[in-house]
Chain A
Amino acid sequence: MSGMTLNMEVMTSLRDAVGKCLAELGKKYDNMLVMTADVDTSSRIQAFKEAFPDRCYNVGIAEQCLMSTAAGLAHEGFKPLTFAFAPFASMRCYEQVRTDICYTKLPVIIIGNGAGYSNGASGCTHCGLEDSALMVACNNMTVIEPGDPAQMVKVLEAAMELNAPVYIRLGREATTSLYAEDVKYEIGKALIPREGNDGAFVCTGIMVHFAMEAAKRIREELGREIRVVDMHTVKPLDRDAVIAAAKTGRVVAAQDHNINGGLGQLVGSTIAEAGITCKLAIRGCPDEFVPIATPEFLYARNGMDADGLYQAMKALL
């Protein structure tokens, strides 16, 4: 993480939502701990830290240690929330996550910041483009990618109640909000922020916002109604929501993640297994590394922004 320049003054809504929520959760769960690997500031844990200074661990730049010690604490009845940047929270300590946490199904919540291309300007090392695939491949792991501040609060509450390993990937922040604060949220049950039967976007995180824009534009320009499925839980996947989306005949699946191992492939195999004939396009990061670039550039380059999703769906209509 050395050499990285972060503007700590920039308020980012998802992480701020996490920060506010943590302190509240800490009051509710006296066995909740917050652990980070030298990302206290960027993870917005300050409110929790101020309220419960003795319930925080910062293990330094040591993600393997973060996961193993969290496992040890969970063995003894504590509920640790661990924070690290998505690529380091997933790849650097993958075996610790798999063997120390998931094998025994310990209640450790792992929050990976900077997922997808959201850290693009920091370069390849800081882009978490494999984390979802890795965590999905981990038995006993639940994988969630919220895209909205109100949803994020619900995700944390649900994750605390689950009493099992949960990976929460936080990617590019949206400037708009999709849900009211009282949004009904259930792990594994997709949300539908926009109805439609001429096709469906199945997306996570920031891609849901882009899909909403694309669907609106399709309505305005082409007069067709496209459903937007917010597949916030990547695992376990809401198969019913995918099958219902496939029955519209056209699905564009998008995740800010490598296409290989990403949401699109999970959606595709679900549709194929269900025996449904459906046009399918997958958007995400192709099988190539790119040098330093801004998220906006990368989303546009790979057809993952609102225009890219619009074009992908238009081609299926």
Chain B
Amino acid sequence: MAEKSLVRRLEKASLDTKLRLLDLCHQTMIHIGGDLSVCDMMTALWQYAIRYDVENPHWDGRDRFVLSKGHAAAVTSFSQAAIGCYDVQDIYKEYATDFGRFGMHSCNLANPYVDVSTGSLGHGMPVAAGMAAALKRKGSQSRVYCVIGDGECGEGSIWEGAMFAHQYQLGNLVVFADRNGFSFDGPTEEYMALEPFAGKWRAFGWNVVEIDGHDMDAIIDTIDRLPDVSSDTPTIVIGKTAKGHGVSFMENNASWHAGGVNTEDWEKAKAELTAAYQEKWGAAV
């Protein structure tokens, strides 16, 4: 069990990011469904797990981060802003603008806090595996954290990367899978079934951890118990999540894959998320 104060701090941090996502979604179009589903895990990654130096984003001793589900760029940017990579207001100002640092997918040419440009699905994970191989060669103590979506596991390249990570014993590679059960068109199990999802990864020789991807306690616990960097087995944390999590009219609704919210929905969504936090922690936000 993680310390209660830590859980509360990270849940508050996640709420802050969700509210900011909704503000951005009120301003323009973002991938709100997948942003919300991965937000709790993303918050824990950036505000708890990842070893990083905001002053020196290319510090060799940092943990690497690759957003394989590149469309979750907004939640990543807000998570990075929370540790001081940028001012939150910069994201509202620059998002999807000409030569802005922030867009619907992550871009390393525009943004030094992005290691790998992503957006096309199935790319980031094998690139992360290559980075993990490189760090292993260098004897580095850094990890490579990679966030994948479940839908992108339809791409064969994910499984090529999974085989590579197993073959080259990349215990420094930690993949978080946002198993929200939806791809662009609808439920994964309806369109192209992924189950037994955990079984597939086990069969590929990975260390598999299955958690509720919205249970901050479990997320922290998983991070605390990650195998040593020098271990031989790559790890995948499969977080069972809900697309559009925490907003009643978005949750598990494929039509909220991407879009913008009108003012009425915006207020309603923020009120719901805030109320849920207050109900649990009994404190004013």
Question: Which A residues are within 8 Å of any B CB, using their own CB?
Answer: 57, 59-60, 62, 64-65, 68-78, 95-96, 99-100, 103-104
Contact = CB atoms under 8 A, between A and B. Distances in A.
Interface in B155-177: 156-157, 160-161, 163-164, 167-168
B157 A68 contact: yes
A101 to B, nearest CB: 10
B126 A73 contact: no
Contacts of B117: 99, 103-104
Nearest to A60: B163
Interface stretch (B80-88, B131-139, B270-278): B131-139
A63 to B, nearest CB: 9
B108 A69 contact: no
A103 B131 CA distance: 17
A71 B163 contact: no
Contacts of A71: 116, 127, 130
Contact of B163 (A65, A70, A99, A104): A65
A72 B130 contact: yes
Going nearest first, the 5 A-B pairs with the smallest beta carbon separation are A72-B130, A76-B134, A69-B130, A68-B126, A65-B160
B128 interface: yes
Interface of B: 108-109, 115-117, 119-120, 122-123, 126-135, 137-138, 156-157, 160-161, 163-164, 167-168
Contacts of B134: 72-73, 75-78
Given A64-B156, A99-B123, A76 B168 contact: no
A57 B128 CA distance: 16
Given A57-B168, A99-B120, A104-B117, A72 B163 contact: no
Contact of A72 (B109, B133, B160, B167): B133
Contact of B130 (A62, A75, A95): A75
10 contacts: A59-B164, A59-B167, A64-B126, A68-B130, A69-B133, A69-B161, A72-B116, A75-B131, A100-B116, A104-B108
A71 B157 CA distance: 14
Contacts of B156: 64
Contact of B127 (A57, A59, A100): A100
A71 B118 CA distance: 12
Given A64-B160, A95-B120, A104-B117, 7 more contacts: A62-B160, A68-B130, A71-B116, A72-B132, A75-B116, A95-B123, A99-B117
A69 B126 contact: yes
A71 B68 CA distance: 14
A76 B62 CA distance: 12
Contacts of A62: 160, 163-164
A76 B131 contact: yes
B157 A96 contact: yes
A35 B133 CA distance: 12
Contacts of B120: 95, 99
Contacts of A76: 131, 134-135, 138
Given A64-B126, A95-B120, A73 B133 contact: yes
Nearest to A98: B120
A78 B137 contact: yes
A76 B132 CA distance: 9
Contacts of B116: 71-72, 75, 100, 104
Contacts of A57: 133, 168
A35 to B, nearest CB: 9
B108, B115, B161: residue with the most chain A Cβ atoms closer than 10 Å? B161
A279 B157 CA distance: 47
Nearest to B144: A72
A131 B69 CA distance: 29
Contacts of B135: 76
B126 A75 contact: no
Contacts of A69: 126-127, 129-130, 133, 161, 164
Contacts of A104: 108-109, 116-117
A219 B82 CA distance: 75
B127 A65 contact: no
B167 to A, nearest CB: 8
A65 B131 contact: no
B123, B127, B135, B168: residue with the most chain A Cβ atoms closer than 10 Å? B127
A68 B168 CA distance: 15
Nearest to B107: A103
B133 to A, nearest CB: 6
A96 B119 CA distance: 12
Nearest to A99: B120
Contacts of A75: 115-116, 127, 130-131, 134
